[in-house]
Amino acid sequence: MKDESVTRTGTSQSVSVVTDAAIPKLFDYLTVPSNHVRLDGSGKLVSAGDDAVRAVGDRFQVNMDFLPRGKYTVENVVVAFEPDVQIAWMPANPGGEPVGIRWDWEFDVGPKGETVITQTCDWSRVTDEKYLATYTLPRISAEEMRESIKRLIDLVSSYA
């Protein structure tokens, strides 16, 4: 990693990291849900399937172990899918509607040809008052997000 930054608003948190890793490899790695368990910097993802997501509307389940809730399954609904540019999803209870948290991974080319990776957690769409009263958002720290990006870079680079 060459450079990093954190941006925080009242309803979102973004972490950006600059790397030499190739965007297509980074993006492809993120399309496989089980890879998220490997790169998870929070340690809260337990398992997920191996079937890659390929389009907006795809769904993938992830088994979590996350206090105070404990062990549970979340179903992520893909809400943005632009190869080598952006992939995003919104978690929901299996078969349900998303609670309003959106996770984005975006890729850009910097001024010197470097890759800029940005991961964003945006909770501006959360309207469930009970959820907002139960959880402090974001539930993942900027440091945990940075660690996820670092692991993504390391994992993709090891397959070069």
How far apart CA 10 and CA 112 sit, in angstroms, is: 32
Structure tokens that stand for 141 in this block: 């720290």
Helices (H), the chain: 23-30, 33-39, 129-134, 142-158
How far apart CA 13 and CA 36 sit, in angstroms, is: 19
The candidate with the shortest Cα–Cα distance to 31, out of 152, 158, 150, is 152
Radius of gyration over every alpha carbon of the chain, rounded to an integer in angstroms: 15
Per-residue pLDDT tens for 98-137? 999 999 999 999 999 999 999 999 999 999 999 899 888 9
Write the Ramachandran bin of 107: left for phi over 0, alpha for psi from -120 to 50, otherwise beta.
beta
pLDDT at 1 over 90: no
With cut-offs at 50, 70 and 90, classify the pLDDT of residue 2.
low
pLDDT at 87 over 80: yes
Which residue ranges form the domains of the chain, and what is each CATH number? Answer: 3-158 (3.30.530.20)
CA angle, 3 as apex, 41 and 33 as ends, to 5°?
30
